[in-house]
Amino acid sequence: MKCRQCGRTAVMHMRPYRLSLCEKHYDGWFVDQTKRTIRTYDMFGHSDRILVAVSGGKDSLSLWDVLLRLGYQVDGLYIDLGIDRGERYSARSREFVERFAASRPGTTLRIADLNADYGETLQEVARHTRRARGKPCALCGLIKRHAMNRVALDEAYTVLATGHNLDDEATALFGNVLHWQTGYLARQAPVLPADSAGLARKVKPLCRRYERETAAYAILAGIEYIIDECPFAAHASSLRYKDLLNRLETDSPGALLQFYGKFLKQREDGLFEAQAVELHKCSHCGQPTSAPDLCAFCRLWPDNE
């Protein structure tokens, strides 16, 4: 297979677009496509201060790398949940992030460490929280969102970016449709505007990039990342959905892009209207919440009650 741009041997063939590219032209293509998504959805500009939530995986580190190459003011945030189970998952992920940050001068790595800040790891909080019933995944998103908002607010970032790729978005969409979670469908978007309490805008600049595309970018750019999945992921239903969607994509290349792209179009046309929820400040941390007093995060800690 030859590169469409220069005729040299292609390293990446993308069936959905019938496009093959060599190493150099794939790199340029990936950066251009990310730039295009940022523009299409009017995600942010060069005056914004961007905080990328990094997990140590290929997507978030690639995003941080591309945004730096595009000249944005961007720093990284690693949220250390203390996930261990014998394989030091959080500690090892953190090492990848720290190595990445150390090799890129002019950008800052911020760390939110659950155990250091609140005295418990994710597994420990899940053990004593009724809503988690011992399952860390039930609290993971809540804790990460709270940490991202806190750091963005404290350090005056205007944009919070995450490395969700097309496979992630299509999988979330599939799960939301399967259970007709219309509230989630209304909020599943490449951009969520800043909310009334002045919290940062949330964006997903890689939402139109297939997972294999971000993996290829990371490998070709020489980014070292953690390959292992979180040890709690093994039983997640999202993995089953992802597997199903991958098979669909293999049979009909471009299916995921169409599924997600057409959903976004319907969403723009108002198919899923977000319900207006009245928010006020949590009496403990000050973050917006719809609960009457403490936000869901502050209610995790018995001393706050």
Would you tell me which residues interact with ligand SF4 (CB under 6 A)?
Answer: 136-137, 140, 230, 232-233, 236
Residue 295's binding partner out of ligand SF4, Zn ion, none, with CB under 5 to 8 Å set by partner kind: Zn ion
Angle ∠(229,231,234) on CA atoms, nearest 5: 80
Residue 41's binding partner out of Zn ion, ligand SF4, none, with CB under 5 to 8 Å set by partner kind: none
Q: How far is the CB of 231 from ligand SF4 (least distance, A)?
A: 7
Type of residue at 40? T
Whose Cβ is closer to ligand SF4: residue 236's or residue 294's? 236
Residue 192's binding partner out of ligand SF4, Zn ion, none, with CB under 5 to 8 Å set by partner kind: none
Residue 233's binding partner out of Zn ion, ligand SF4, none, with CB under 5 to 8 Å set by partner kind: ligand SF4
- List the x/- string, 269-288, binding to Zn ion by CB under 5 A: -------------x-xx---
Whose Cβ is closer to Zn ion: residue 207's or residue 298's? 298
Residue 282's binding partner out of Zn ion, ligand SF4, none, with CB under 5 to 8 Å set by partner kind: Zn ion
Q: How many whole angstroms separate alpha carbon 272 and alpha carbon 113?
A: 36
Q: How far is the CB of 272 from Zn ion (least distance, A)?
A: 28
Structure tokens at 60: 């978030």
Residue 285's binding partner out of ligand SF4, Zn ion, none, with CB under 5 to 8 Å set by partner kind: Zn ion
Q: How many whole angstroms separate alpha carbon 60 and alpha carbon 58?
A: 6
Length of the chain counted residue by residue: 305
Whose Cβ is closer to ligand SF4: residue 32's or residue 243's? 243
Whose Cβ is closer to ligand SF4: residue 226's or residue 230's? 230
Rule CB under 5 A: choose which of 295, 300, 303, 305 binds Zn ion. Answer: 295
Rule CB under 5 A: choose which of 43, 126, 298, 300 binds Zn ion. Answer: 298
Q: How far is the CB of 189 from Zn ion (least distance, A)?
A: 24
Q: How many whole angstroms separate alpha carbon 226 and alpha carbon 112?
A: 19
Whose Cβ is closer to Zn ion: residue 219's or residue 294's? 294
Q: How far is the CB of 202 from Zn ion (least distance, A)?
A: 18
For Zn ion (CB under 5 A), the number of binding residues is: 5
Q: What is the 3-state secondary structure (H, E, C) of the chain?
A: CECCCCCCECCEEEHHHCEEECHHHHHHHHHHHHHHHHHHCCCCCCCCEEEEEECCCHHHHHHHHHHHHCCCEEEEEEEECCCCCCCCHHHHHHHHHHHHHHCCCCCCEEEEEHHHHHCCCHHHHHHHCHHHCCCCHHHHHHHHHHHHHHHHHHCCCCEEECCCCHHHHHHHHHHHHHCCCHHHHHHCCCEECCCCCCCCEEECCCCCCCHHHHHHHHHHCCCCCCCCCCCCHHHCHHHHHHHHHHHHHHHCCCHHHHHHHHHHHHHHCCCCCCCCCCCEECCCCCCEECCCCCCCCHHHCHHHC
Our finding on whether 145 is near Zn ion (CB under 5 A) is no
Residue 137's binding partner out of ligand SF4, Zn ion, none, with CB under 5 to 8 Å set by partner kind: ligand SF4
> Which residues form the interface with Zn ion (CB under 5 A)?
282, 284-285, 295, 298
